[in-house]
Amino acid sequence: MKYFSRTFRVDWSETNTVGEVHLSAYFKYVIETAWDWGAAIGLGIEKSEKLGLGWLVRATELNLHRPLRPNDVFELTIWLADWRRVHGTRYFEIVLKESGELVADGSQEVVTVNLKTMRPVPIPPNIIENITIENPLLVKQQKFPKLTAPRETAFATKRTVDWRDLDAQEHVNNTNYVAFAEDAIASALATTGWTPARFKTENLAIKNQRVHVHYLAPAAWGETLDVYTYLTELTSAGGVWHVEIERHDDQKPIAQCVIEWGLVNRTDGEQQKLPKNLFDGLKENIANA
């Protein structure tokens, strides 16, 4: 079971105001497939718990080539690129079932931990042997960029961790942090006069092209998170957002997210230049080091 695939159909409830799948849904598809893969090799949820093992995702990188829309049927394939005792890299790709068109691909950095101590521990060697590939297919990865912009150049918001944000380990599910980032970005855009309603009126939409998330520490129910949003790059066709999430009480870094984006026509998806008033509004808020 070296390359494991699962088929999905996109539900209406997974789509945003543009009729395309929310970013967080892509992350959920990957996690669902990874757990099914684990079950197929004898290390599913129940077996992992019996062994006292947990899986922590340390980073996710997602490259988006075309959006998923309601009723799209697609296949997600996942495989192990490398493993070094307690941590490794797995790759994945999403293709439309009927046409084989590439929708997205990416990677995840994962660590195995003891569920009681949450410290890294190795998994049974035979499990790794069963999924090790001598020459695995490779997905291009990029280094996570270092943020050098001063804090005062960020757009700051707060949010409280709700019960619905939590997973079985009682901390924020890693798939939710990209949703936190998108919410913060929407609020930052609104300060320039470009609300979701404004984009709809102008028949325009933001197209996310690449997402990279680093998970640094868990967040628990009731905690207040400070979310700092920086526009670190801007061109006539789009830009790059960098979002930092910290726990309010002790300023402990929780997650970081980089999103590369462009602007498209809402109807046909064709790339568009940023309207002058949008470009000018964003340029005033670009985070310079």
Domain range list for the chain: 1-141, 142-289
d(CA 279, CA 192): 9
Rounded to whole angstroms, how far apart are CA atoms 247 and 249?
Answer: 6
C-alpha–C-alpha distance, residues 51 and 67, integer Å: 38
- 3 state SS of 12: helix
94 — phi, psi (to 5°)?
-120, 125
- Alpha-carbon torsion (62, 242, 181, 279), positive or negative: negative
Pairing, β 53-64 against β 3-9: unpaired
- Which residues on neighbouring strands pair with residue 93, listed in sequence order? 77, 105
> Long-range contacts for 195-202 (Cβ within 8 Å, ≥24 apart)?
196/17, 199/266, 200/17, 200/266, 202/275
Same fold? 1-141, 142-289: yes
d(CA 223, CA 4): 37
Averaged pLDDT in 10-residue chunks for the chain of 289 residues: 93 94 96 93 85 91 97 97 92 97 97 91 82 88 92 95 92 95 96 95 96 97 98 96 98 98 94 96 84
What's the CATH superfamily of 1-141? Hotdog Thioesterase (3.10.129.10)
Residue 49 dihedral angles phi and psi, to the nearest 5°: -65, -40
Pick the CATH number of 142-289 from 3.10.20.30, 3.10.129.10, 3.40.640.10, 1.20.1530.20: 3.10.129.10
Distance CA 236, CA 36 (A): 43
Per-residue pLDDT, 1: 67
